[in-house]
Amino acid sequence: MPRNQDEQHSNLSTGSSLETEGKRAIRDAPAAGGSTARRLRSQELWRDESGRSLEDYPRPSVAVDVAVLTVPDPLDLELRYSSSSQETESEGGLHVLLVLSEIRSSNQPLSKPSWSLPGTFLHDGETLIQATNRALLTKAGIKGLHPRQLKVFDELRRDPRGRVLSVGHFELVNWEKIRQAVLFNPDIRLRSVRSVAEKRTRVRIDHREIVSQAAERVQADYRSVPDPYRLLAEPFTLRDLESLHRRIDPDGTPAKDTFRRRMMNYLVDTESTSSGSIGKPARLFENNPSRTGRNRPT
């Protein structure tokens, strides 16, 4: 007897001894019969040694949740929240995009809204990346991003609606890519990762853990190379680069001299200087593709 579903999956065999004439008719139906016929043929043809088909096993729902991270312009945040009676967000640093949650627990007051990451259930015939793109478009009005998989979140009671596995995704994007959506959509909020981690921002189920792990992944990437997600327009000054690092990873960015020595190994001096700034012109640099790669981390 197979010990688990994976072993059962590896031992699938043709269950001809279990087929009736009707099942053989389904099996022999022409492929032109459409997806329903093909699915029925698959269900009837393939059974494990205990006589069960895939339909006989529990099927948890599969969802995707997307942590879209960014480093916003503080002036834009003041514009967005200064005239609102709702919670404001004045902290600098790494932020995450949240949408008004559609799920509310029975004991949650209506006066206290709950926020969540953009997410959705996986549809039949849909890939995970297609589901993440659909969630971002329908929940936040955002398109053109390329989220990456983070991990599967599978706590047994993670969703009050039932057994749901969530494939967490994340993306760190330039603020300008989502600025319009954040500033003008009342069902979207931008909150600092720190406020989510410290539970000052209410989020549903395990989205706090998804946000924290996404932020940790991004911070680890920035400890390795200057600007792996290409948030800064090239060329840039070392001051601009250090400022970006301190906003993304304030606790992990070393002192100024150490930071600059570390980053110089991955930069190319353009032999030009900045203009239009107060004080001594600063040298301008670009990422060194031979050391940092041309694309973002994978």
Summarize pLDDT for 104-122 with one digit per residue, the tens: 555 554 445 679 999 999 9
Q: What is the DSSP letter of 224?
A: T
Statement: residue 29 has pLDDT above 60: no
- 168, β-bridge pairs: 65, 151
pLDDT score at 1: 43
Contact by Cβ (8 Å): 247, 93: yes
This prediction's pTM: 0.77
**Contacting residues for 262 by C-beta, under 8 A, at least 6 apart:** 254
User: Domain spans of the chain?
Assistant: 5-56, 61-220, 224-292
Residues in the chain: 298
C-alpha closest to that of 67 among 141, 171, 174: 171
The residue whose two tokens read 């088909």 is 53
Domain 61-220 has CATH 3.40.50.10490: no
Residue range 55-101, pLDDT digits in tens: 877 788 899 999 999 999 988 887 777 654 444 454 679 999 999 88
First to last CA, the chain: 40
> Which CATH number is correct for 224-292, 3.40.50.300, 3.30.70.270, 1.10.10.10, 3.30.70.260?
1.10.10.10
Helices (H), 86-152: 128-140
